[in-house]
Chains A and B, each alone.
Chain A
Amino acid sequence: MTPFQTLQGIAAPLDQPNADTDQIAPARFLRRPRQEGYSQFLFHDLRFDEKGGEKAEFVLNRPDFKSAQILIVNRNFGGGSSREQAVWCLVDSGIRCVIGSTFGDIFYNNSINHGLLLIKQDENVCKHLRDQLHASPGASLSIDLPNQSFTGPDGHRYTFSIEESRKKRLLDGLDEIGLTFKYETQMRAFETNFRQKHPWLFRVS
């Protein structure tokens, strides 16, 4: 997992609310092996027409936003299906940070496992940022995770909150499973006790 420290990059505005994970990563692509890459599937049916041609009007197809590393989104981004492939599509396409007012819970949890930083801001802040990006396409945002702040296209500095454990994992690129095994003693003791308390769950049928 790539550690996340600071990032200066082009930001793209995504205006539609409820951009669910079905739209971020359509179902028919989800069984491709992870190592083959998922960038070509990001927003596939919004980006491409039925013949596979790029839809010129879709924001990430516009020349100014093609190399965006940051998305400013509308409410309830990443709701719906638990498919982690939505995160794979984003990170494989070079998106490292998404700023929005609300995110789907499962998507929020999935993002951390692939070094994708999600920043929560009020919807009016997000709208203001999207408006600025529409007015000056190709503008950059600058994100500083250690200091929990970012700077908008107009130079205004915003702060954000993030849980300490998420921040640490992003900064260090740490893997969760390795961390959990440090609790092996507690896990083992818990499991022994749990099996004694719920014997009916473990009878061999």
Chain B
Amino acid sequence: MTQPQTMFAKIWQRHLICEDSDGRSLLHVSRHFAHDGSWHAFSFLQARGLTVRHPDQLFTTPDHGVSTHSHHIEDIHDADQLRVVKGLDANAKKYGFTVFGLNDPRQGIIHVVGPEQGLTQPGLLIVCGDSHTSTHGALGALSFGIGASEVCHVLATQSIWQRKPKTMRVNIEGELSEGVSAKDVILALIEKIGANGAAGHVIEYMGSTIESMSMEARLTLCNMSIEAGARAGLIAPDETTYLYLKGKPYSPAGTDWDLAQAYWQSLPSDEGAQFDTEVSFNATDLSPRVTWGNSPEESLPISKCVPSAKDYPAQQQESIQATLEYMGLKSGEPLEHVPIDIVFIGSCTNGRIEDLRAAAAVAKRGHAVVPAIVVPGSSLVKSQAEKEGLDQVFIKAGFQWRESGCSMCVGMNGDLVPSGQRCASTTNRNFRGRQGPGSRTHLMSPAMAAAAALTGHLTDVRKILNGEPA
């Protein structure tokens, strides 16, 4: 009898070309995603006189540098961003790969577009020059972010050298209570294991909480695997996955579907498969969370107070104090008293249709008292939301309704949080200056961000959902 295998090991084996004498593996990249920021890698490729080896395995869309005010190319005012957005189109023509361009209805954040188009499928090995490539693991694809030189390597060779990572099983059980979402689950996990707690590992998420999650919630969960330091996050394909994929533009159809599904059904980890690390927790008691610090590991339930440096081991006190100073927070102050200057709803973490529905369900209960910006994760998410009338809900509630892109999550397109201001954000990183120099970021779910917009301070969304006045 063969040794029980993890899903990770099966996908790895399926893509293994060969190993070198140092134990590194050369892996075939079954699908390669790229965006406007991959421009440097194309420059390297050209400088070296190389070409794209398999343009039919490369799919791209501009996202980081695009304006969210309009998708007219002239509305990209920064010369550097304009050059790379135009460069993606030029490279697509030159090398013959697919681009969902600025004016294509399928444009969007690459990590929203891949699943939405059915390009992301179980059992594939996907790389992209962006750390949030871990998102695609929600469909059971082994997916990870790489740097520009590695992107150039993949363009030239359709392969990548990797040392086999370790595996971590994260087992999450229990039903989420009202107002609690996948975002709260992943923030709780990162708090538990630390921002580098899964370094060197590929996480496989399992358990009843995961099984009952929608695909969109799973995408949020896997998206932030990188914030726990993981190489990738994976979820085994199941009926939810198949229902999601059926009928997507690039999903297999007809007899191809049966062929593909036979492979997909072979993927889940075998009974008794061994993982290097095991983590488990119960999600039943989770509450909506917010981050208070500058690392995604620094989050608390919304009912708690700002921590004090004294609560931490001596070695950490200095850096915790520096964090509280940067964030302008007073130890002991209830988190719900912390005022907010601006709200951002969007990103590859929380810019999908279910996220917008959750935010709109809160927004319709009041009116924004601070600037609040909604940026759909893709142009198709935007048009779907408009079909459902969500745009009107947001606009009536005083939120701004924008074009899709990475926007204020990475602050490369001019959408910035002004220095010293505090943002309630559905994004993935609360790093110092991430949303602009001097910006202060609190990460939370879309419903929680919408609640903060209505009250002007960090707010337990459950109170608004239960009818307390905003």
Hey, which bits of chain A sit against chain B, CB under 8 A?
15-18, 20, 22-23, 26-28, 30-34, 45, 50, 74-76, 79-85, 87, 102, 104-106, 109-110, 113-114, 127, 163-165, 176-177, 180-181, 183, 186-187, 190-191, 194, 198-203, 205
Contacts and interface: CB of A to CB of B under 8 A. Distances in A.
Contacts of A82: 129-131, 133, 145-147
Nearest to A18: B295
A32 B40 CA distance: 9
A145 to B, nearest CB: 16
Interface string B269-307: 000000000000000000000000011000000000000
A114 B147 CA distance: 11
Contacts of B17: 183, 186-187, 190
Contacts of A79: 195-196, 229
B231 A105 contact: yes
B437 A26 contact: yes
B337 interface: no
Given A22-B431, A22-B433, A87 B158 contact: no
A45 B152 contact: no
A164 B19 CA distance: 14
Contacts of A45: 432-433, 437-438
B26 interface: yes
Nearest to A84: B147
B154 to A, nearest CB: 10
Most A CB atoms within 10 A — which of B24, B149, B294, B315?
B149
B432 A84 contact: no
Contacts of B78: 31
10 contacts: A17-B316, A20-B431, A45-B433, A79-B196, A80-B227, A102-B196, A110-B147, A180-B26, A187-B158, A187-B159
B26 A183 contact: yes
B145 A106 contact: yes
A34 B43 CA distance: 9
A102 B159 CA distance: 27
Interface in B1-60: 15, 17-18, 20-22, 24, 26, 28, 30-31, 37, 39-40, 43-44, 48, 50, 54, 56-57
B386 to A, nearest CB: 26
A84 B40 contact: yes
- Give the size category of B's interface with A: 35 or more
Closest 5 CB pairs of A and B: A84-B147, A110-B147, A200-B252, A113-B149, A31-B80
A45 B257 CA distance: 51
B260 interface: yes
Nearest to A113: B149
Interface in B150-166: 150, 152-153, 156-159, 161, 163
A138 to B, nearest CB: 23
A199 B258 CA distance: 12
Contacts of A110: 147-150
Given A28-B411, A181-B157, A105 B199 contact: yes
B242 interface: no
A136 B26 CA distance: 45
Given A31-B84, A82-B145, A106-B131, A113 B150 contact: yes
B249 interface: yes
Interface string B240-270: 0000000001101000110110010000000
B156 A80 contact: no
B18 A183 contact: yes
Residue of B148, B163, B318 with most partner-chain A CB within 10 A: B148
A27 B411 contact: yes
Given A18-B195, A114-B149, 8 more contacts: A22-B431, A31-B84, A80-B226, A177-B48, A177-B156, A186-B18, A200-B252, A205-B249
A176 B231 contact: no
B437 A190 contact: no
B263 A198 contact: yes
A145 B218 CA distance: 44
Contact of A22 (B159, B256, B434): B434
Contact of A164 (B22, B249, B259): B22
Contacts of B229: 76, 79, 104-105
Interface in B55-85: 56-57, 65, 78, 80-81, 83-84
Contacts of B263: 198
B90 interface: no
A128 to B, nearest CB: 12
B131 A201 contact: no
B147 A22 contact: no
Contact of A84 (B149, B156, B438): B149
Contacts of A199: 256, 259
B410 interface: yes
B24 A109 contact: no
Nearest to B249: A205
Contacts of B148: 84-85, 110
Contacts of B26: 180, 183, 186-187
Contacts of A187: 17, 26, 28, 157-159
B319 A177 contact: no
Contact of A30 (B20, B50, B412): B412
B429 interface: yes
Contact of B250 (A32, A81, A181, A205): A205
Contacts of B48: 177
B193 interface: no
A85 to B, nearest CB: 8
Nearest to B231: A105
A91 to B, nearest CB: 12
A52 to B, nearest CB: 11
B225 to A, nearest CB: 11
B50 A106 contact: no
Interface string B207-244: 00000000000000000001101010000000000000
B8 to A, nearest CB: 15
Contact of A50 (B226, B227, B419, B429): B419
